[in-house]
Amino acid sequence: MTTTLNTSASGATGSSTDPSAPEPPGRATTAGHRPEIEGLRAVAVLLVAVYHIWFGRVSGGVDVFLLLTGFLITGSLLRMTESAGRVRFAAFFSRLFKRLFPPVGVVLVGVLGATWLWLPEPRWRGTIAEAVASALYVENWSLATSAVDYLDRTELPSPVQHFWSLSIQGQFYVVWAVLIAVTVAVARRAGAGTRTAGLVACGAVFAGSLTYSVLLTDADQAWAYFDLGARLWEFALGGILALTLPLIRLPRPMRVALGWLGLAALIACGALFDVSTMFPGYVALWPVGAAALVLLAGTTGSPVAADRLLTWRPLTQLGAISYALYLWHWPVLVVYLAQTERSVATLPGGLAVLAVSVGLAVLTRTLLEKPVNAFTRPRTHPGWAMAVVAAFLAPVLVVTTLWTARLDDRQVVTVTEENASDYPGARVLTSPELAASLPSAPVVPAPADAREDVPDTYDVGCHASLEQTEARVCSHGPAEAEHSIAVVGASRSAHWYPALREIADERGWRVHNITKSSCQFSTDTPHTVDGAVYTQCLRWRENLMTELARLRPDVVLTSSTRATADGERAFDGFVERWRQLADLGIDVLGVRDLPRVEGDGASCVATRGADECLYPASYSHAPSDPARALTDVPETVSLTDLTRYVCPEGQCPAVVGNVLVYRDDAHLTTVYSRTLAPVLETAIVRATGW
């Protein structure tokens, strides 16, 4: 991580010869040096890597790096103001750029090459976009956006996803340099001490950011996880430690105990908390506080202290490559998982991932970081720093630009009136003659573009995302239409909208779309999202009922079951909603939820070909429709099951009639949905008599 910038801190030196005598925790072998920090870095990066590789979760190790960054940068900036009288922005950022950008550029180019060689085409566009975001240090905001976008929730992890923390640190450097500069200027004008003023500023940021973090984590944890404002308190606590540790004198036995307590708490964090669904908020105080205890303990000189372990040479050597190891371990892991089609690594596979990552980190440190540092150290003019940035980021931006242009310029096949007979989709399942005469043609949509093939209601904001509560209505068709139908519910109701719109255009009906990600049309308490009760769904449902009471469509089309990897169920809450609609004089067409598939059909087709991509419906489907077993169903409700037109004979092919069926593991492509219009029309007419 980027805390390799500076290993010194403002710790005091010297101590009493009495091992029980109070002494400052910064006692060190050389003035200002904190040798245990390298070991703490090593522990943090090992926790990050081990939990990623073998447990598929996060550990709290990144929070340690954020604390250390605040600790080191605050001390560095204040020492600069004391020696130079101000924050020398050019010098400060020049040193940062020369250290940070060379490894980033090399790793990103390596990731792009690995993506082209080993990741399937559907992963290319997303990786390219995130590589650019990572190079520009805005990956956290890119992920914050996708984290609240349901369309991306089924994505396999990006090989540069871990750059979110580096982006937050990059943004912190800018904010903190400005904060310290303003704080010092105000302090001098007021006649106050700069370190006292710095402590006040750090304390204010800590209090404000922690409060914001707790509130935002409770309201929208997915966004808070990547929000700089919700993380600033972790850096600020490091700054507070940098300014107060030299003033704290504790007995050595107490420091020994604090060191072991902090180290044990840090190692236990990932096992005790589901960091990815609970952080940052107040829970992040655990790993940050644990690391703070280790810093408070300092270098004790005791043979039984935690710092004896943290200053062990193999651990400090690992700490020296922690930045490069953090950069490399995640893309190596993602490539391994993609190639083995696993969600977590086996023991031998994980050891191989770790070994390769360490090897790449050592090479990066030896062949890149040290030579670049040696070359640029005597060249202090800011122009050299900008030259380093250009030299290592230009290849990333050039490669991503050219690659994107090539993807945009390739010939993309679309279904038109002229070639519609080549792309019958679901119609081949009802016409043996059509199936027999099916020509060989490229799959539509192309696997690389499958995730973009979504109903247009997403683009115009008529499908509510996870955090939205407004039941926004999109209507299509003549206002004076004789018949109207509304599709409501979650995204797996929304994927029927393209078929319904085809029917409406042919029949002159009016169609309303009112859908929301992961929110069933039910009265049951919704499932949790990222570990928290999905309160936005509850509010959206009430708004939805208000809209339906206003619109009074003739029929509501919605899901009558919910199929997941845990099985397929129908809920009493569905029936209660149907009764509410009956009271409004609105009929219901309940469509059985389609099977989810155990895999990514688009990636499978891209790498293996359509013939090799077949998934059992039993992965998520019950042997029979659970909705048929519901009791007290109003007479205004009709149930239909169209599964056989997607998964014939219990098998779900990735391609039917030259059309890609699923855009991910759960949602139909828009193209395939349209080919289902005839069978959906039959079901509607049978239910309504229109």
**What's residue 410's pLDDT?**
74
The model's pLDDT over 524-548, given as tens digits with 9 standing for 90+, comes to 888 776 556 788 899 999 999 999 9
10: Cα separation from own chain's centroid: 36
Residues 586/555, Cβ–Cβ less than 8 Å: yes
**What's residue 221's pLDDT?**
84
Say if residue 20 is exposed, middle or buried (CB neighbours under 10 Å; 0-12, 13-18, 19+): exposed
DSSP state of 569: E
pLDDT for 16 beyond 50: no
pLDDT for 606 beyond 50: yes
For the chain, the domains span 37-406, 454-688
pLDDT for 31 beyond 50: no
| Section 463-468 average pLDDT | 85
**What's residue 414's pLDDT?**
83
pLDDT class for 17, splitting at 50, 70, 90? very low
pLDDT for 205 beyond 90: yes
Tokens describing residue 444: 């539509």
**What's residue 173's pLDDT?**
97
Residues 335/119, Cβ–Cβ less than 8 Å: yes
**Helices 36-50 and 252-272: crossing angle, nearest 10°?**
10
CA distances, 527 to each of 153, 222, 491 (Å) = 15, 16, 15
Tokens describing residue 666: 């759960």
The model's pLDDT over 536-588, given as tens digits with 9 standing for 90+, comes to 899 999 999 999 999 999 999 999 999 998 999 999 999 999 999 999 999 99
CB-based contacts of 256, cutoff 8 Å, min separation 6: 297, 300, 302, 304, 305, 306
For all residues of the chain together, what is the average pLDDT?
Answer: 90
SS3 letters across 157-201: CCCCCCHHHHHHHHHHHHHHHHHHHHHHHHHHHHCCCHHHHHHHH
Number of Cα atoms under 13 Å in the Cβ half of residue 303: 0
**Topology at the third CATH level for domain 454-688:** Rossmann fold (3.40.50)
| Section 315-320 average pLDDT | 95
Tokens describing residue 311: 């200053």
Tokens 């006692």, located at residue: 27
- As beta bridge partners, residue 564 has 567
From CA 249, how far away is CA 283, in angstroms rounded?
Answer: 28
pLDDT class for 452, splitting at 50, 70, 90? confident
Q: What is the β-pairing status of strands 562-564 and 567-569?
A: antiparallel
pLDDT class for 7, splitting at 50, 70, 90? very low
**What's residue 664's pLDDT?**
87
Tokens 């709290």, located at residue: 60
From CA 103, how far away is CA 458, in angstroms rounded?
Answer: 38
CA distances, 96 to each of 141, 369, 516 (Å) = 21, 12, 44
Give the residue, 397 or 274, on which the prediction is more confident.
Answer: 397
**What's residue 640's pLDDT?**
97
**What's residue 4's pLDDT?**
38
**What's residue 573's pLDDT?**
95
Tokens describing residue 338: 């993609």
Kindly provide the b/e burial profile for residues 358-369, where b requires at least 16 CB atoms within 10 angstroms of the residue's own CB.
bebbbebbeebb
Share of the chain above pLDDT 90, in %: 72
Residues 107/327, Cβ–Cβ less than 8 Å: yes
| Section 349-362 average pLDDT | 97
**What's residue 376's pLDDT?**
86
The torsion region of residue 43 among left (phi > 0), alpha (psi -120 to 50) and beta comes to alpha
**What's residue 155's pLDDT?**
58
**Helices 89-118 and 124-135: crossing angle, nearest 10°?**
170
**What's residue 355's pLDDT?**
97
pLDDT for 435 beyond 50: yes
- As beta bridge partners, residue 587 has 555
Q: For 463-610, where are the E strands, in sequence order?
A: 463-464, 474-476, 484-489, 510-516, 528-529, 532-533, 555-559, 562-564, 567-569, 587-591
**What's residue 643's pLDDT?**
96
**What's residue 361's pLDDT?**
97
The model's pLDDT over 158-196, given as tens digits with 9 standing for 90+, comes to 999 999 999 999 999 999 999 999 999 999 999 889 999
Least confident among 95-104, 145-154, 263-272: 145-154
**Helices 139-147 and 194-224: crossing angle, nearest 10°?**
40
CB-based contacts of 169, cutoff 8 Å, min separation 6: 1, 2, 65, 66, 69
DSSP state of 594: P
pLDDT for 1 beyond 70: no
Instruction: Give, rounded to a whole angstrom, the gap between the first and last alpha carbons of the chain.
Output: 65
Please tell me the pTM assigned to this model: 0.82
Q: What is the β-pairing status of strands 510-516 and 463-464?
A: parallel
From CA 630, how far away is CA 632, in angstroms rounded?
Answer: 7
Residues 555/589, Cβ–Cβ less than 8 Å: yes
**What's residue 411's pLDDT?**
65
pLDDT for 25 beyond 90: no
- Among 662, 558, 684, smallest CA distance to 615 is for 662
Residue at 604: amino acid letter: C
Candidate ranges 110-119, 403-412, 430-439; pick with highest mean pLDDT: 110-119
Least confident among 1-15, 486-500, 553-567: 1-15
**What's residue 120's pLDDT?**
86
Residues 673/663, Cβ–Cβ less than 8 Å: no
pLDDT for 29 beyond 90: no
Q: What is the β-pairing status of strands 474-476 and 510-516?
A: antiparallel
Least confident among 153-157, 204-208, 233-237, 404-408: 153-157
**What's residue 391's pLDDT?**
94
Residues 38/316, Cβ–Cβ less than 8 Å: yes
The model's pLDDT over 42-86, given as tens digits with 9 standing for 90+, comes to 999 999 999 999 988 888 999 999 999 999 999 999 999 999 989
The model's pLDDT over 217-258, given as tens digits with 9 standing for 90+, comes to 988 888 999 999 999 999 999 999 999 999 999 999 999 999
Tokens describing residue 297: 């303990």
Tokens 């790498």, located at residue: 607
